[in-house]
């Protein structure tokens, strides 16, 4: 079945550091790929998405590119802020939404 594997955390960074969270997937079809973010005490909200190979999703300085050849959708941000501290989930949608385990990111001032 479909599955998502993302890099385990927790990840701790200093402000202005570069962030990358690896995500790879297994799917039988042609899924859409998503990154969701969960801030403390809240539900998940969409961060960015890509619907086909080579698409780049971007939002709030975060980017991820749908790489079909490597079945990957790594999340990157060039300069993180304290407000980026959250749990990040990679997900795929092939008529059912499947999530990775989540990566906790803490950014220190």
Partner 1 sequence: NAGVTQTPKFQVLKTGQSMTLQCAQDMNHEYMSWYRQDPGMGLRLIHYSVGAGITDQGEVPNGYNVSRSTTEDFPLRLLSAAPSQTSVYFCASSSRGLSRHTEAFFGQGTRLTVV
User: Contact positions toward partner 1, by CB under 8 A?
Assistant: 4, 31-32, 34, 36, 41-46, 49, 51, 89, 93-102
Q: What are the backbone angles phi and psi of residue 66, rounded to the nearest 5°?
A: -75, 110
Min. distance of Cβ 83 from partner 1 in angstroms? 19
Min. distance of Cβ 99 from partner 1 in angstroms? 4
Q: What is the dihedral of CA 14, 45, 2, 103, to 10 degrees?
A: 20
Report DSSP letters for 11-64, one per residue: EEEETT--EEE-EEEE-SS--EEEEEEE-TTS-EEEEEEE-STT-EEEETTEEE
Rank residues 17 and 93 by Cβ distance to partner 1 and give the closer one: 93
Min. distance of Cβ 78 from partner 1 in angstroms? 24
Rank residues 13 and 44 by Cβ distance to partner 1 and give the closer one: 44
Rank residues 36 and 62 by Cβ distance to partner 1 and give the closer one: 36
């Amino acid at each position: 079945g479909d599955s998502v594997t993302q890099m385990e955390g927790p990840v701790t960074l200093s402000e202005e550091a570069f962030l990358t969270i690896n995500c790879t997937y297994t799917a039988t079809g042609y899924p859409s790929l998503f990154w969701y973010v969960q801030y403390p005490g809240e539900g998940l909200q969409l961060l960015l998405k890509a619907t086909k190979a080579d698409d780049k999703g971007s939002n709030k300085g975060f980017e991820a590119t749908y790489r079909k050849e490597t079945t990957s959708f790594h999340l990157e941000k060039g300069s993180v802020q304290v407000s980026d501290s959250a749990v990040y989930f990679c997900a795929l949608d092939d008529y059912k939404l499947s999530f990775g385990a989540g990566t906790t990111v803490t950014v220190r001032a």
